[in-house]
Amino acid sequence: MSLIELFILALGLSMDAFAVSVCKGLSLGKIKVKHMCIAGAWFGGFQALMPLIGYLLGSIFADKITMYSHWIAFILLVIIGINMIREAFGEEEKMDSNMGISTMFLLAVATSIDALAVGVSFAFLNVNIIYAVTFIGITTFVCSAAGIKIGSIFGEKYKSKAEVCGGVILIFIGLKILLDGLGILG
């Protein structure tokens, strides 16, 4: 996976956390750097942890299903992408300004489940997992911190657009992996 592909994937994965951060920023009103760092740490941390867990789980089974790995990665990424797009047009989530441990933990887990599935697909690809999860975590940290600030300024206007964008990106990455695996692109 190239650096550009990893960057695009990291942006796509961070869009859920970004959208939630925008809502948090909106609910907080007046924000502090502390708020941006808290959101960035929770979301970035979990976006890094989940693909690592997925990678470890996928590695256990990689030798048994290598022949189908491109299909597995494609299916997982398309499902995640479609889910993100569907959520963008779904019912608005009610956000409050609580940034306590239990609230942030639940939000971080909820926004990083898709990263777990991406981690499984990493097990079938030529990916330096430490580099990948670090990059994903840092990208999500930055996007989440920015989301808090943007939310405090612009509010709900860009939430659904971010989710749609993230979903489309993941679908295209899945399609590229499939076409590479079938020998059509590479």
The predicted-structure confidence for 61-90, as pLDDT tens digits, reads as follows 766 766 676 787 678 778 777 876 787 787
Please tell me the predicted confidence (pLDDT) of residue 63: 67
pLDDT higher than threshold 60 for residue 95: no
End-to-end CA gap in the chain: 13
Cα(116)–Cα(100) distance, integer angstroms: 24
Question: Domain locations in the chain?
Answer: 3-181
Contacts of 6 (CB under 8 A, 6+ apart): 132, 135, 136
Please tell me the predicted confidence (pLDDT) of residue 155: 58
Average pLDDT over residues 123-147: 93
> In the structure encoding, which two tokens stand for residue 136, read together?
């994903």
Provide the pLDDT confidence category of residue 157 given band limits of 50, 70 and 90.
low
112-to-20, 30, 63, 169 alpha-carbon distances in Å = 12, 27, 26, 16
Please tell me the predicted confidence (pLDDT) of residue 58: 86
- The region of weakest confidence among 9-18, 94-103, 110-119, 156-165 is 156-165
**In this predicted model, which residue has the larger pLDDT, 46 or 5?**
46
61-to-71, 117, 120, 132, 136 alpha-carbon distances in Å = 15, 14, 10, 20, 23
For the question of whether the overall pTM of this predicted structure is more than 0.85, the answer is no
